[in-house]
Amino acid sequence: MRKKSKMPKKFFKQFIMVWLFIFLFLGVAFSSYTGTLAAEGTAVFQAHLFDYVYITHVSISDSSGAASIQYSFLDHELNANISATTCNSYVTYALDIVNTTPYKAFITANSIKSMVNGSGNTTNTLSVELTDVTLNSTYIDPHSTKTIHVKIKNNCNGSDEQVRIKTDFEYSLYRYFDLTVNCNPNDATASITTTEGTFTGSGSVTHRVKEGETVSYKCSKKYYYDNTGSYTMGTLDHTETLTLEPDPHRDLTINATPNSSTIIVKQDGDVVCSGEGTLTCSVISEKDVTYTVDDPEYYYTYTNNVYSGYEETFTMPTTEVTKNITLNERPWITGTVSNSSNTSAKNQTSINWHSGYYLVEVWGGKGGNGNQTPGSSGYVYGVVYVPYNNYVIMSAGGNGSSSNSSPSGGANGGGSGGYSGSGNGGNKGGGGGYSSVIISSSNSTTISTTSVNNGYVKFIAGGGGGASSKGGTFGASNGGNGGNGGNMSSSVSSIIAGKVFSGANGTSNGNNDNTPGGGGNTSAGEGGSGADDGAFLKGGNGDERGGGGGAGYYGGGGGGVSSIFATAPGGGGGGSSFIAKDVTFSGLPSSITSKLTSSNPSSTGGAIKIQWIGKNM
State the DSSP string of 280-334: EEEEETTSEEEEEEEPPS-BTTB----B--EEEEEE--SS-EEEEEEPPBPPP--
| Listed ranges 57-61, 98-102, 374-378, 387-391; the one with the highest mean pLDDT | 374-378
Reported confidence tier of residue 142, pLDDT bands at 50, 70, 90: confident
Q: Are 123 and 157 in contact (CB under 8 A)?
A: yes
pLDDT at 228: 97
The DSSP 8-state label assigned to residue 549 in this structure reads: P
Of the segments 113-122, 127-136, 384-393, which one has the largest average pLDDT value?
384-393
Confidence band (pLDDT; 50, 70, 90) for 374? very high
The number of angstroms, rounded, from the C-alpha of 185 to the middle of its chain's C-alpha atoms is 36
pLDDT at 575 over 90: yes
Q: Per-residue confidence at 386, pLDDT binned at 50, 70, 90?
A: very high
Cα 347 to chain centroid, rounded: 41
Amino acid at 357: Y
* 176-243 has CATH 2.60.40.2190 classification: yes
- Cα 17–Cα 23–Cα 24 angle in degrees, nearest 5: 125
Q: What is the DSSP string of 399-420?
A: PPPEESS-PPPPTTTPPPPPPP
- Contact 69/30 with Cβ under 8 angstroms? yes
The type of residue at 294 is D
% of the chain with per-residue pLDDT over 70: 75
- For residue range 588-604, what is the model confidence (pLDDT) as tens digits? 999 999 999 979 999 99
Tell me how many helices (H) and strands (E) the chain has. Answer: 3, 37
**Residues 55, 52: Cα–Cα separation, whole Å:** 10
Q: What is the mean pLDDT of the chain?
A: 80
Kindly state the percentage of the chain with pLDDT values over 90: 52
pLDDT of residue 199: 96
CA distance 6 to 174: 9
Q: Point out the least confidently predicted range of 115-119, 145-149, 475-479, 556-560.
A: 115-119
**100-126 in b/e burial notation, b at 16+ Cβ within 10 A?**
bbebbbbbbebeeebbbeeeeeeebbb
pLDDT tens, residue by residue, 156-214:
665 444 445 555 566 667 778 889 999 999 999 999 999 989 999 999 999 988 888 99
Task: Please write the tens of the pLDDT for every residue from 243-274.
Answer: 999 999 999 999 999 888 899 999 999 999 99
Architecture per CATH, domain 249-326, reads as: Sandwich (2.60)
How far does Cα 323 stand from its chain's mean position? 15
**Range from 7-16, 86-95, 406-415, 452-461 carrying the lowest mean pLDDT:** 7-16
In the prediction, which pLDDT does 107 show? Answer: 73
Q: What is the pLDDT of residue 592?
A: 95
**pLDDT given for residue 342 in this prediction:** 87
* pLDDT in the model for residue 151: 77
Q: CATH 2.60.40.2190 spans which residues of the chain?
A: 176-243
Q: How confident is the model at residue 235 (pLDDT cuts 50, 70, 90)?
A: confident
- Terminal alpha carbon distance of the chain: 81
Range scoring the smallest mean pLDDT among 48-52, 63-67, 223-227, 490-494: 48-52
DSSP 51: G
The pTM score is 0.60
Task: With CA atoms as reference, report the closest residue to 410 among 537, 524, 527.
Answer: 537
Q: Please count the CA atoms within 13 angstroms of the CA of 20 that sit on its side-chain side.
A: 27
pLDDT at 78: 46
Q: How confident is the model at residue 450 (pLDDT cuts 50, 70, 90)?
A: very high
Return the pLDDT at 129.
77
Q: What sign has the CA pseudo-torsion 19, 25, 30, 33?
A: negative
For residue 114, pLDDT over 90 is answered with no
pLDDT tier at 549, thresholds 50, 70, 90: very high
Q: With H, G, I as helix, E, B as strand and everything else as coil, classify residue 247.
A: coil
DSSP-derived 3-state class of residue 455? coil
Cα gap 508→428, rounded to integer Å: 13
Q: What are the Cα distances from residue 50, in Å, to 19, 172, 597?
A: 20, 11, 109
What pLDDT does 576 receive? 98
What tens digit of pLDDT does each residue of 299-332 get? 433 344 678 889 999 999 999 999 999 988 888 8
150 pLDDT exceeds 60?
A: yes
Does pLDDT of 435 surpass 90? yes
Non-local CB neighbours of 583 within 8 Å, separated by 6+ positions? 360, 382, 383, 384, 458, 459, 498
Of 484, 502, 336, 366, the closest CA to residue 433 belongs to 366
Amino acid 20: pLDDT: 31
| Location of each CATH 2.60.40.10 domain in the chain | 249-326
User: What is the reported pLDDT for 299?
Assistant: 41
Task: Verify cis geometry, omega within 30 degrees of 0, for the bond prior to 569.
Answer: no
